[in-house]
């Protein structure tokens, strides 16, 4: 009898599509064996026809035992294991899914180390990707299919303190690791990762990556589309917001045509073409003070005061510095009345002016290049390169440090960069020759519940739509998502439901536990019930990329994110810290 064979004390007493029950007849005999069972252990069940199921233990119960009247000693305590089938062995290879076995099965074995190693080695060698080891036996690496893992959206969830940030770093560091040949020749591989880093944690985890903070990001306003511009500048709850939208849109389009030159006929509101915000404000200022001449022969056209010029084409005059119009009058000789938008844009213009004068938004509204020149259409390649890893120097990982971005424009920034990457890859695929090299991007959204919430609201409308579009269509164009959050129940279900792979760490909130269990592609109680009790750096992996859902110990890494918690009690026991408060205030004030 093989070492792991427990057929002599264990027999199958029930078989169903989703559960198998095994009765262990002698607790004493079981305890004398060198091999032990626990919840989450794997068991191999076979019949005489060489059909073999692999099942995972999801629970057990003690079976009642009665003392016989003619016996002084009670009979041995028995217990019943509840197992859930997870796969089968065919031609000495593990495969997901069930297979019929003859009833009753004959042999029960505890899965050996070699069987477990074979199960996790079932991934094709050239596609193997590993960032952790099996909790049940840490000598066994849990290999994933790297193409299925990164090529399909990923959800990484876990409460604060569960090791979520270091797990994300471990996944990405292993994912972008160059081959030995590439390393020896100093070559970059073709991995592309963009991390939206809400708390500035990941610079230390990727020392060779390119980190862009609020002082480095150049993201001129003219790259925004209609939704982003309107979220930035227009209050949707104002009574005349429809007039603001229509005239702002018209002014932007006309100004883009002005700067597009011969290509002006192809310009739309969403075209990534330069327009002057100052000139658009001039245009709206003219509309807001416009007075129309009613003198016969003037053709009911707006009229300037200084030289009596009649405005036959607003885009010809209104982009210039504001000029005064003739005064309103009821006299026949000077008859004039207010234009249709006179006084309509007072609050709108104040808001525009306030935004433009807010120095915190210079990276959006007044970015300058090294020559102190305003970025324009011809600089689009330079602007895109900074996010896409093609700047100087080139990098596999771009970290967008959002910690210094004013919160009121955070959603617009994330939306804009997300949409730019998607649109670039959309057009790249149109130009790409079939069979040539691809350009895959992984977009990592840290603390994603902050900008793609479950709740509806205009404030997050643009960023939700941008990310939801990638969730539904991105994989066709080589863009995948990693959604990272400590509050998964607060994230848009449209995004999370598109994830095919999950790395779930400890979750203490019952609502989050229920939500994640409902979204997980595999219903394995023995695995998912462990969510609230996982230790730091322990994670459940479920999805298309893993051979069988597993609990793993995430590998230690050298370059950690800067996300460690402060040890309050330890720090409180130290001597009093002398803080130079004026220095902190000077930094605060910029």
Return the HEC string of 45-114: EECCCCCEEEEEEEEEEEECCCCCCCCCCCCCCEEEEEEEEEEEEECCEEEECCCCCCCCCCEEEECCHH
Domain count, the chain: 3
**In a domain? residue 279:** yes
pTM of this structure: 0.87
Determine contact, residues 537/163, Cβ cutoff 8 Å: yes
Computed over its alpha carbons, how large is the radius of gyration of the chain? 32
Cis preceding-peptide flag for 393 (omega within 30 of 0): yes
Render pLDDT for 40-71 as a digit per residue (tens, 0 to 9).
788 888 876 777 888 888 778 887 655 455 55
Look at residues 355, 390, 405 and tell me which one is the last residue of a structural domain.
355
**In a domain? residue 556:** yes
Say whether both 111 and 203 belong to one domain.
no
Determine contact, residues 501/547, Cβ cutoff 8 Å: no
For the packed helices 226-233 and 346-356, what is the interaxial angle rounded to 10 degrees?
100
**Band (454; pLDDT cuts 50, 70, 90):** confident
Render pLDDT for 467-487 as a digit per residue (tens, 0 to 9).
999 999 999 999 999 999 999
CB burial of residue 590 (10 Å; 0-12, 13-18, 19+): exposed
**In a domain? residue 116:** yes
Say whether both 50 and 68 belong to one domain.
yes
The two structure tokens encoding residue 44: 């191999």
Say whether both 206 and 231 belong to one domain.
no
The two structure tokens encoding residue 42: 């794997």
Give the mean pLDDT of 495-500: 89
Domain range spanning residue 312? Answer: 226-355
Say whether both 401 and 532 belong to one domain.
yes
**Band (203; pLDDT cuts 50, 70, 90):** very high
**In a domain? residue 192:** yes
20-24, 64-68, 205-209, 263-267, range with greatest mean pLDDT: 205-209
Look at residues 297, 324, 355 and tell me which one is the last residue of a structural domain.
355
Say whether both 460 and 519 belong to one domain.
yes
Render pLDDT for 150-166 as a digit per residue (tens, 0 to 9).
999 999 999 988 899 99
Cis preceding-peptide flag for 189 (omega within 30 of 0): no
**In a domain? residue 361:** no
Q: What percent of the chain has pLDDT over 70?
A: 92
Helices (H) and strands (E) in the chain, counts: 19, 21
34 vs 582, more confident: 582
**In a domain? residue 258:** yes
Q: Is residue 407 pLDDT above 90, yes or no? A: no
Q: Specify the pLDDT at position 419.
A: 94
Say whether both 203 and 350 belong to one domain.
no
Say whether both 114 and 180 belong to one domain.
no
Say whether both 387 and 311 belong to one domain.
no
**Band (523; pLDDT cuts 50, 70, 90):** low
Q: Is residue 115 pLDDT above 60, yes or no? A: yes
Say whether both 498 and 554 belong to one domain.
yes
Give the mean pLDDT of 95-113: 74
Give one DSSP letter per residue of 559-584, joined into a string. Answer: S--S-PPP-HHHHHTSPPP---HHHH
**In a domain? residue 581:** no
**In a domain? residue 369:** no
Q: Is residue 11 pLDDT above 90, yes or no? A: no
Measured CA to CA, the distance from residue 513 to residue 506 in angstroms comes to 9
**Band (525; pLDDT cuts 50, 70, 90):** low
Residue with tokens 């971005």: 405
Q: Specify the pLDDT at position 263.
A: 67
Say whether both 517 and 416 belong to one domain.
yes
Measured CA to CA, the distance from residue 56 to residue 44 in angstroms comes to 9
Render pLDDT for 220-257 as a digit per residue (tens, 0 to 9).
999 999 989 988 888 877 777 888 899 999 999 999 99
CB burial of residue 525 (10 Å; 0-12, 13-18, 19+): middle
Measured CA to CA, the distance from residue 574 to residue 209 in angstroms comes to 36
Say whether both 406 and 472 belong to one domain.
yes
Say whether both 211 and 245 belong to one domain.
no
């Amino acid at each position: 009898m093989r070492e792991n064979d427990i057929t002599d004390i264990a027999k199958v007493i029930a078989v169903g599509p989703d559960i198998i029950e095994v009765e262990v007849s002698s607790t004493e005999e079981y305890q004398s064996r060198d091999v032990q069972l626990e919840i989450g252990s794997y068991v191999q069940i076979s019949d005489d026809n060489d059909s073999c199921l692999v099942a995972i233990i999801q629970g057990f119960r003690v079976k009642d035992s009665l003392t016989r009247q003619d016996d002084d000693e009670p009979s041995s305590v028995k217990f019943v294991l509840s197992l859930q089938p997870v796969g089968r062995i065919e031609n000495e290879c593990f495969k997901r899914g069930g297979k019929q076995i003859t009833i009753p099965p004959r042999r029960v074995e505890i899965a050996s180390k070699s069987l477990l190693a074979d199960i996790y080695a079932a991934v094709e060698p050239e596609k193997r990707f590993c960032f952790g080891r099996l909790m049940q036996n840490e000598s066994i690496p849990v290999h994933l299919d790297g193409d299925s893992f990164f090529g399909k959206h990923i959800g990484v969830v876990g409460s604060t303190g569960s090791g979520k940030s270091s797990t994300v770093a471990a996944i990405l560091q292993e994912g972008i690791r160059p081959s030995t040949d590439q390393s020896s020749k100093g070559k970059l591989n073709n991995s592309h990762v963009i991390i939206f880093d809400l708390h500035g944690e990941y610079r230390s985890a990727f020392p060779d990556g390119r980190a862009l903070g609020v002082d480095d990001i150049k993201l001129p306003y003219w790259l925004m589309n209609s939704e982003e511009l309107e979220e930035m500048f227009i209050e949707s709850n104002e009574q005349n917001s429809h007039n603001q939208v229509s005239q702002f849109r018209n002014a932007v389009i006309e100004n883009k045509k002005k700067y597009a030159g011969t290509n002006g006929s192809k310009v739309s509101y969403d075209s990534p073409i330069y327009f002057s915000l100052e000139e658009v404000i001039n245009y709206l200022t003219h509309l807001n003070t416009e007075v129309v001449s009613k003198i016969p022969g003037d053709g009911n056209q707006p009229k300037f005061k200084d030289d009596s010029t009649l405005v036959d084409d607003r885009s010809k005059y209104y982009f210039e510095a504001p000029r005064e119009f003739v005064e309103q009058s009821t006299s026949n000789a000077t008859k004039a009345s207010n234009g249709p938008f006179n006084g309509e844009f007072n609050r709108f213009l104040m808001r525009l002016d306030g935004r433009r004068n807010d120095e915190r938004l210079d990276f959006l509204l007044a970015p300058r290049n090294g020559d102190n020149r305003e970025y324009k259409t011809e600089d689009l390649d330079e602007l895109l390169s900074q996010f896409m890893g093609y700047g100087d120097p080139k990098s596999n990982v771009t970290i967008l440090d959002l910690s210094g971005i004013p919160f009121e424009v955070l959603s617009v920034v994330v939306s804009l960069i997300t949409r730019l990457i998607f649109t670039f890859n959309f057009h790249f695929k149109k130009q790409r020759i079939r069979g040539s090299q691809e350009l895959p991007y992984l977009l990592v959204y840290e603390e994603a519940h902050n900008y793609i919430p479950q709740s509806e609201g205009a404030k997050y409308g643009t960023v939700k739509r941008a990310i939801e579009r990638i969730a539904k269509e991105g994989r066709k164009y080589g863009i995948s998502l990693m959604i990272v959050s400590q509050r998964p129940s607060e994230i848009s279900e449209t995004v999370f439901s598109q994830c095919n792979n999950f790395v779930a760490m400890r979750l203490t909130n019952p609502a989050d536990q229920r939500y994640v269990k409902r979204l997980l592609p595999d219903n394995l109680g023995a695995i998912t019930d462990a969510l609230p009790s996982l230790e730091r750096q322990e994670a459940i992996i479920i999805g298309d990329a893993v051979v069988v859902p597993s609990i793993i110990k995430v590998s230690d890494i050298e370059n950690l994110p800067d996300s460690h918690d402060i040890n309050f009690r330890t720090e409180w026991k130290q001597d009093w810290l002398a803080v130079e408060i004026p220095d902190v205030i000077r930094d605060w004030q910029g």
